[in-house]
Chains A and B, each alone.
Chain A
């Protein structure tokens, strides 16, 4: 199904990039730039003679647009946290400038490094440059702490694009979400820059634990009220929902994620089944723990279940990461199962795992592995139903 981009060269292409031209190998680069500026204007060859107006470029750019609230909120919050830590007055323009000075370099570096690999593989494999890297690049950047060294961001996205996507055959063939592969790589390779309490505010020497870090802290007495524990550290539902708390750049604000979610659902770009499944899984599992919470259990068990939706990277992961159609389950029933298991796993990692405070990234990657298996069972049950129908009709035909 791979399309050799050189097989269908655009008649507007300059000689230099065409077959036999000096730079014909770079045709994918020319094509990417050209079709970015203008629609390809190529007509159908056979039936169906007419086609839908939507193309993958628009779909991918719509995902990027859906991420804009998270990006803007992230930029503001990065600046806000720095000013807050220094007890300086918060002025909107200044805050945005300060945040942008921290966040934009990370995004530029991920796009440059990710785009380089995407283009290189496109040229070698003679296929088109896929707009998906626009999504992968920004998704990855938004999951990083604002203090990440730029070279680590570059190494991370390189690993994600090459080992998360290209070695499987490129866009559409990947087993894992490439942005999460990139993040997981950085997370395990450079834990000092990716976890703890010193990395979430872009101010040297300043430490402040994230809400999940606070709850995970083993020194917290068993049976403590988790809501009070958070309040002692300056966290309440309101600021976690709006996202004015330390954390990864784009993940802190639940409300920004909801704005993206609404946009994705209105435009029909992402699967609501996955998102609904994630929320159900998380709420269900959290309710089970909530009901068993008591003085002998860790404090976090007693967190009201709905708080889990606003805390940590769950909203971001459920809306933007789990819904990646390529690495998620591809059947409708499978999407429900996939989503529910992600939500349940997130809760398990948060509540009963001793090592990691947050489990969204690991849950989604883990379920990425299982997505084909889930699909397999869904398809097999479909086939079994079909065979049953044929057997029944064969019997009735004989009778």
Chain B
């Protein structure tokens, strides 16, 4: 076990944290299964409108690895298979019938799990519809079951603004969590559990069969990219896998109980949400059910955090990997001579507003979606490296990406990078450069060439 204290980065303390109360959300009126959540897979619908499905029935399957599939979290009827341009699959909508009929999967005892081979574990995960919770770095895509990663990271902390508290969501799920760890630890030579230095749950601090590492410091010290960088960094040709906490619990349930679990505990946060608490719901559930009573006019509904989440809108659904919903006010108000005023209420990591005199960035603040400026060429190139935890010269990496110099990107360490690790750079850049987006473009470029 090692302790890592991250000195760089910054916590943005948004108003609107979720109360530490767990509530049961109303049973979702429909569930959407969205291929877009599964980067790296080419998913085909294996059901059609009108089909009956059980909990655990395959809905989507990968074109190249047909065993990799996405299954239904509810029993019910397929009510729509929506397609967009060029017949690209947008989502499959399932209307639950409340019968809760289940596909059954093999059941294992805790000891049996430990004796399963890696191939068995992979087979059961794919069959049970949970292979797709395993993602690979570099490129942050769904793991290739035929690959051999050098390590598996369990991402059991988050420093995203208003993130769900892992300690809290694990309460009462300790046994399943450990079973999930036991299963995952068979997949690679090394399994690391990365937790917050403040974690108290015994499921985390006394986890078995894994190497526990503790992290403290500001965001992005809780990003899986930071953990990989500190514990076992990726070089060219290497890959690691990573799994989110709640998905480990689902894997544990699959092995211990032989059922597929689509359960997700979501922190509903942000000053735009009225009822801010933890809700027990399902992946793919409509956000409307979670935001009952919130006035969503002039608000942005985000599945995930403000730094890395995705705007899903009022009619959207909770996305596959998210355990947080954030609702913040939309911006867009024009202010007279904005560049001139001292700005005691302006949130800025720079010291160009009077708010830095009163330490506003250390207080709880209300932020909206205003970009606060127009895009410009990068001038202040010195600021990025203080906001990332990776040992990567950001400005030079951006330059290498924009001229398409893959070799230079590799030398500078692009394989350790992901969009979310540079979110603070995009946040703070006075030129409003989408640093994370450029990193993503660079990774996509390299993937195409491979």
* Residues of chain A having any CB pair with chain B under 8 Å: 1-3, 8, 12, 31, 35-44, 46-59, 61-62, 128, 130-132, 170-173, 266-269, 271, 325-326, 330-332, 335, 375, 379, 382-383, 386, 389-390, 393-394, 397
Contacts and interface: CB of A to CB of B under 8 A. Distances in A.
B233 A51 contact: no
B346 interface: yes
Given A1-B377, A173-B377, A325-B379, A50 B367 contact: yes
A393 B233 CA distance: 9
Nearest to A2: B377
A128 B374 contact: yes
Contact of B350 (A48, A61, A267): A267
Contacts of A332: 382, 385
B393 A379 contact: yes
Contacts of A394: 235
A326 B376 CA distance: 13
Given A47-B436, A171-B377, A271-B382, A53 B334 contact: no
A57 B339 contact: yes
Interface residues of B, number: 80
Given A40-B374, A42-B374, A59-B352, A50 B379 contact: no
Nearest to A32: B374
A171 B306 contact: no
B373 A56 contact: yes
Nearest to A45: B311
Q: Do most interface residues of chain B lie in helix, strand or loop, or is the interface mixed?
A: loop
A34 B300 CA distance: 26
A46 B381 contact: no
B383 to A, nearest CB: 9
A335 B380 CA distance: 13
Interface in B320-335: 326, 328, 330-335
B12 A50 contact: yes
A54 B374 contact: no
B66 interface: no
Contacts of B318: none
A390 B235 contact: yes
Contacts of A31: 374
B437 A46 contact: yes
B375 interface: yes
Contacts of B355: 53
Given A53-B343, A55-B339, A43 B332 contact: yes
Contact of B430 (A1, A36, A44, A52): A52
B450 interface: no
B77 interface: no
Interface in B19-34: none
A53 B302 CA distance: 21
A52 B334 contact: no
Contact of A38 (B334, B349, B370): B334
Contacts of B427: 48, 50-52
Contacts of A58: 338-339, 352, 373, 430
A325 B430 CA distance: 13
Nearest to B235: A390
B351 interface: yes
A330 to B, nearest CB: 5
A203 B420 CA distance: 62
Given A47-B307, A48-B423, A383-B411, A56 B370 contact: no
A292 to B, nearest CB: 37
Given A55-B432, A331-B393, 12 more contacts: A38-B338, A41-B332, A52-B428, A53-B346, A53-B347, A54-B430, A56-B373, A62-B352, A128-B374, A393-B232, A393-B233, A397-B150
